[in-house]
């Protein structure tokens, strides 16, 4: 089980990351200059209605939104890890997923946050970060 504190620690350990609050939800979000890559996401009234129509409900615990590389990647991850990844109609056509923090372990969460960050990080910074870890 991961926590919001885990998200904060993992995200802020990455280069050039800032935490912000505000936007349309007022919740915490993590970003680099080129954009947001992870954010806390609570349900809107519309989300709850749409999920109810689909016979689903919003999870009890905290939920994190994360960027993914493409719609194909999104579908592959949803199929591979339905225990803690999900989506909502609001995200249809958008390369992002929702993560149930109460259901995912910290190590897998770290991988998801790293991957989301790599999509938004400056190319030179990402390349150095990967090389430092022997991943490139």
pLDDT for res 23:
60
CATH of segment(s) 4-125:
3.90.1150.30
Instruction: Write out the two tokens for 15.
Output: 């280069």
Contact 66, 38 (CB under 8 A): yes
Domain spans of the chain, in order of start: 4-125
Digit-coded pLDDT (tens) for 106-123: 999 999 999 999 999 999
Digit-coded pLDDT (tens) for 5-41: 999 999 999 999 999 986 667 799 999 999 999 999 9
DSSP H helices in the chain: 4-12, 45-53, 71-80, 106-120, 123-132
């Amino acid at each position: 089980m991961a926590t919001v504190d885990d998200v904060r620690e993992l995200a802020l350990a990455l280069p050039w990351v800032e935490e912000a609050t505000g936007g349309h939800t007022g919740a915490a979000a993590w970003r680099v200059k080129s954009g947001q890559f992870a954010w806390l996401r609570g349900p809107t009234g519309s989300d709850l209605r749409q999920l109810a129509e689909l016979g689903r409900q919003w999870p009890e615990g905290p939920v994190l939104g994360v960027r993914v590389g493409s719609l194909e990647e999104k579908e592959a991850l949803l199929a591979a890890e339905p225990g803690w990844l999900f989506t909502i109609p609001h995200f249809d056509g958008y390369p992002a997923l929702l993560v149930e923090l109460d259901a995912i372990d910290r190590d897998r969460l770290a991988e998801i946050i790293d991957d989301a960050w790599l999509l938004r990080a400056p190319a030179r910074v990402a390349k150095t970060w990967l090389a430092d870890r022997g991943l490139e």
